Amino acid sequence: SGGGVVAAVDLGATSGRVMLGYVGDGMLRLESVARFPNGPVVGDDGLHWDFTGLYRHIVEGLREAYRREPGLSSVGIDSWAVDYGLVEGGELVGEPFHYRDERIVQGVERVHATVPFDELYRRNGLQFLPFNTVYQYVVERGLDDAELALLVPDLVAYLLTGVRAAERTNASTTGLVDVRTGEWDLELAEKLRIPASVLPPLVDPGDELGELRGAARERVGAPLEVIAVGSHDTASAVVAVPMTSPNAAYISCGTWGLVGIELDAPVLSDAAREANFTNEGGVDGRVRFLHNVTGLWLLSETLRAWEAEEGERIDLPELLDAAASVPGPIALFDANDPSLSAPGDMPARIAELLRASGAAVPESRPAFARTIVESIAAAFARALHTAAEVGEREIDVVHIVGGGSLNRLLCQATADRAGIPVLAGPVEATAIGNVLVQARAHGWFGADASLETLREAVAAAFPPERYDPRG
Ligand code: LFR
């Protein structure tokens, strides 16, 4: 018991943030300290992230966090998965590639030529996503010369503290971790000629990493301690899903909609592989049995195209309000179609899919937005159905957390199409999960608090909003 304040660094595909988390005596509260945009940057050799810019924002954000709360106990870092930076001589070499870069196509071919997908699935339990780190590594020219390859949150932690570590939940998304042992699959790495020397020691959420040093320590003004959290954003989000029943499913909905359930052991059956369900590593050794559905990416890319056309910002809540009153029938497209994964003129690509299936292309923007939201909801409903079937679970309620929980149209459409109630919120699940794992490491929930205890705290502090299925 007790309590205190920690900082959470949470990097998403469209924005990053530094938050303060206040924990103690039945209290759980977040305060935003810094927010900054993120997105793909087109370079000479493909799509990258502006990691250097993100890192600068993180350090400035931590400086501000410490200024506001000199009693700050620690900081935890999470981000999207699979992407990495290479380190030589203690420094980042170049900017990390973006997982939507197209060089991965060759990586997939090369890996599957050596290790067929069936075998890969038996070893790592991961759904096929063409950007899984293992596919990126085999086409990475700099890998042989690198001292280290670090996933984004591990890279931030390394630059802040000098500590080399790979946090396990995120490492599980590389495709190089053995799904049964939770250790690096060095045999697989060798088959694929990925040098084992670039893979740092694995650590678990809650482990202490080290204190800020050098320039970061000077700029922030304190030797703040970095604690490993569920550094895969989805792992942190799942910690903060206020599930109270084993029959609850979740959708962590931001750029992606991660649709699934939490299990104690992986499901590696043919059915799971064929349904393309993943067994990602969760906090406390739990398994995140889920499927990646293309989420708000479809909407944000559409908005970006329309805004470029108009030369001004489009108000999303206003657009969604108008979309809600568009009369049916609503045309649907497959939200998971691979043609929608790269950045660029999204409305045209969606229109193309609709035309190809013989559906009419909605003419107004509200009607177009409605088609997008309903198509995402339909894909969510399908994935929930599959999770229940393949995971052998009855699912009677689904929690939607993350940015998508604010989208009322999406929440209601998901309830309607899945035929089960939706419990929406919290919107900042990822940052909350990050904060809670640090808080537990400090003993503020009692040393052995279970995830269930942490989730009770979430439910009490952020009561979810309920959407019942209609008709
Ligand atoms: C969500 C997420 C997903 C992962 C995708 C790419 O932010 O982390 O879990 O599959 O981004 O890294």
Residues paired with residue 129 on neighbouring β-strands, in sequence order: none
What is the per-residue pLDDT for 471? 76
Going by CA atoms, what residue is nearest to atom 7 of ligand 1?
A: 80
What is the per-residue pLDDT for 180? 96
**């993120």: which residue's tokens?**
38
In the reported structure, the alpha carbon of residue 257 is separated from the centroid of ligand 1 by a whole-number distance in angstroms of 9
What is the per-residue pLDDT for 368? 98
Ligand 1 mutation target, pool 49, 78, 101, 256, most atoms within 8 A of CB: 256
Residue 256 Cα: closest atom of ligand 1: 1
Q: Is 99's C-beta closer than 6 angstroms to any atom of ligand 1?
A: yes
Q: Is 407's C-beta closer than 6 angstroms to any atom of ligand 1?
A: no
Going by CA atoms, what residue is nearest to atom 4 of ligand 1?
A: 81
Q: Average of pLDDT values for 192-220?
A: 98
What is the per-residue pLDDT for 310? 94
- State the Rg of the chain over Cα: 21
Residue 315 has pLDDT above 70, yes or no: yes
β pairing state of 248-253 and 397-401:
parallel
What percentage of the chain exceeds 70 in pLDDT?
A: 100
Angle (nearest 5°) at CA 348 between 83 and 326: 105
Distance CA 290, CA 253 (A): 12
Residue 1 has pLDDT above 70, yes or no: no
The Cα-based distances of 48 to 4, 51, 405 in angstroms read 37, 8, 29
Residue 15 has pLDDT above 80, yes or no: yes
Ligand 1 mutation target, pool 10, 78, 80, most atoms within 8 A of CB: 80
Q: Average of pLDDT values for 330-337?
A: 97
Residue 13 Cα: closest atom of ligand 1: 7
Going by CA atoms, what residue is nearest to atom 2 of ligand 1?
A: 80
Going by CA atoms, what residue is nearest to atom 9 of ligand 1?
A: 234
Region of 344 (left: φ > 0; alpha: ψ -120 to 50; beta: rest) is left
Q: Average of pLDDT values for 377-385?
A: 98
Q: Is 368's C-beta closer than 6 angstroms to any atom of ligand 1?
A: no
* Burial environment of residue 449 by CB neighbours within 10 A (0 to 12, 13 to 18, 19 or more): middle
Peptide linkage before 70 cis (omega within 30 of 0)? no
Q: Average of pLDDT values for 217-225?
A: 97
Residue 305 has pLDDT above 90, yes or no: yes
Q: Average of pLDDT values for 92-114?
A: 96
Residue 232 Cα: closest atom of ligand 1: 8
Q: Is 121's C-beta closer than 6 angstroms to any atom of ligand 1?
A: no
User: ipTM of the assembly?
Assistant: 0.98
Ligand 1 mutation target, pool 79, 258, 277, most atoms within 8 A of CB: 258
Which residue of the set 233, 321, 396, 416 is catalytic?
Answer: 233
What is the per-residue pLDDT for 2? 87
In the reported structure, the alpha carbon of residue 350 is separated from the centroid of ligand 1 by a whole-number distance in angstroms of 22
Q: Is 233's C-beta closer than 6 angstroms to any atom of ligand 1?
A: yes
- CB of 206 within 8 A of CB of 440? yes
Sequence-ordered strand ranges (E) for 327-450: 397-401, 422-424
- How many CB atoms lie under 10 A from the CB of residue 86? 21
Q: Is 301's C-beta closer than 6 angstroms to any atom of ligand 1?
A: no
Q: Average of pLDDT values for 160-175?
A: 98
Q: Average of pLDDT values for 248-252?
A: 98
Amino acid making up residue 292: N
What percentage of the chain exceeds 90 in pLDDT?
A: 97
Residue 252 Cα: closest atom of ligand 1: 1
Residue 207 has pLDDT above 80, yes or no: yes
Q: What is the pLDDT of residues 27-62, one digit of tens each?
A: 999 999 999 999 999 999 999 999 999 999 999 999
Q: Is 429's C-beta closer than 6 angstroms to any atom of ligand 1?
A: no
Residue 188 has pLDDT above 70, yes or no: yes
pLDDT tier at 333 (50, 70, 90 boundaries)? very high
Is 233 annotated as catalytic? yes
What is the per-residue pLDDT for 10? 98
Residue 129 Cα: closest atom of ligand 1: 10
Going by CA atoms, what residue is nearest to atom 8 of ligand 1?
A: 80
Q: Is 189's C-beta closer than 6 angstroms to any atom of ligand 1?
A: no
Closest by Cα among 115, 471, 178, 223 to 328: 471
Q: Is 459's C-beta closer than 6 angstroms to any atom of ligand 1?
A: no
In the reported structure, the alpha carbon of residue 327 is separated from the centroid of ligand 1 by a whole-number distance in angstroms of 34
Q: Is 82's C-beta closer than 6 angstroms to any atom of ligand 1?
A: yes
β pairing state of 15-24 and 3-11:
antiparallel
Residue 363 has pLDDT above 80, yes or no: yes
Distance CA 458, CA 44 (A): 45
Going by CA atoms, what residue is nearest to atom 11 of ligand 1?
A: 80
Q: Is 254's C-beta closer than 6 angstroms to any atom of ligand 1?
A: yes
- CB of 367 within 8 A of CB of 326? yes
Helix (H) or strand (E) holding 297: helix 297-310
What is the per-residue pLDDT for 407? 98
Q: What is the pLDDT of residues 118-156, one digit of tens each?
A: 999 999 999 999 999 999 999 999 999 999 999 999 999
Q: What is the pLDDT of residues 261-297, one digit of tens each?
A: 999 999 999 999 999 999 999 999 999 999 999 999 9
Distance CA 382, CA 386 (A): 6
- How many CB atoms lie under 10 A from the CB of residue 385? 16
In the reported structure, the alpha carbon of residue 24 is separated from the centroid of ligand 1 by a whole-number distance in angstroms of 30
